[in-house]
Amino acid sequence: MNLNEFFQRHPKAALGFSGGVDSSYLLYAAKSCGAEVKAYFVRSPFQPQFELEDARKAAEKLQAELQVIKLDVLQDEKVAANPPNRCYYCKKAIFSKLAAAASADGYSVLMDGTNASDPEEERPGMQALQELEVLSPLRLCGLTKEQIRRRSKEAGLFTWNKPAYACLATRIPAGRAITAELLQKVEAAEAELAAMGLSDFRVRVFHDAARLQVKAAQFAWAAEQRQQIRNRLAPYFETVLLDLEER
C-alpha cells in the first residue's frame, strides 16, 4: 500500500500533529492526495514553545487547519511519577484527548506520524496508539525516516532537515518525579544553547546537574565555549556537565 491508496481508503482523517519531519510530511501527503484532513497539536508541559511555532508555520504553509489543544499531562499521577513506561500513559492521555476532539469535529479516523524506522518494541507509546486504534500511514506504507526526509526536501518542506526531537520528559531519568518547574528549567537551558547556535543536542537532568549531550563533531566547540555555556545555564542549573558519550 502507498499513501495515495491509504487516503483513497480514508479520505477524511484527523492528524496528531507535532510540526516535525514525519507529521509535516504526512500532512503534505494527505493534502496532495485530496484528503480532508485537520491537524491537532496538543500543547502540554512536555512540548517546548518552538514546537508549537513550527507546527503553526508548517500548517500555514500547507494551508491546513490546525487546532491547538491544551492538556496538562502532569495531572495524571502515572505520568508525573515517571515510571519506565511513562510514554504509554502520556500517549494514552494525549491521543484520548485528540480522539475526543476529532470525533466532535466529525472525524472517525485518527492518524499519527510514526514511521517505519521507529522501533515498536522500544516504544511503550506504541501500545497506547494500538489500543486507541490510531493509524500510522507512514509506517503502514513502509516509509523510513530517510525516505521521508528526502521526499520532504523534494516537496520543499522546511522540516526536511529538522533534527529529531523527543519531548522534554525524556530529559528526566525514569523514576524521578516530573514537575513543571523542572521541565521549564530544561526548556530554558536548551533554548539558551540553541541561541548560541548549537543543534541536535540534549540537556538531561543528572541528579541536580545539567548533563549536556552533543554530537561528536560538537565536542571541541562545547569545550571552547564552556564558560559561556556555564554562564547561560547558571540561572537554571548550578552544575553543568559535558557527557563524553556522543548523542
Same domain, 141 and 235: no
Per-residue pLDDT, 120? 67
The tally of domains found in the chain comes to 2
Per-residue pLDDT, 9? 97
pTM score of the predicted model: 0.92
Per-residue pLDDT, 68? 98
119-134 confidence digits (pLDDT tens): 765 578 889 999 999 9
Per-residue pLDDT, 122? 59
* Positions of the chain with pLDDT lower than 50, given as ranges: none
Same domain, 130 and 71: yes
Same domain, 12 and 110: yes
Instruction: Please report whether residue 170 resides in a domain.
Output: no
Same domain, 42 and 89: yes
CATH number of the domain where residue 213 is located: 3.30.70
Per-residue pLDDT, 175? 96
Same domain, 118 and 200: no
Q: What is the span of the domain harbouring residue 236?
A: 179-242
Query: Residue holding cell 508555520?
Result: 57
CATH number of the domain where residue 28 is located: 3.40.50.620
1-16 confidence digits (pLDDT tens): 999 999 999 999 999 9
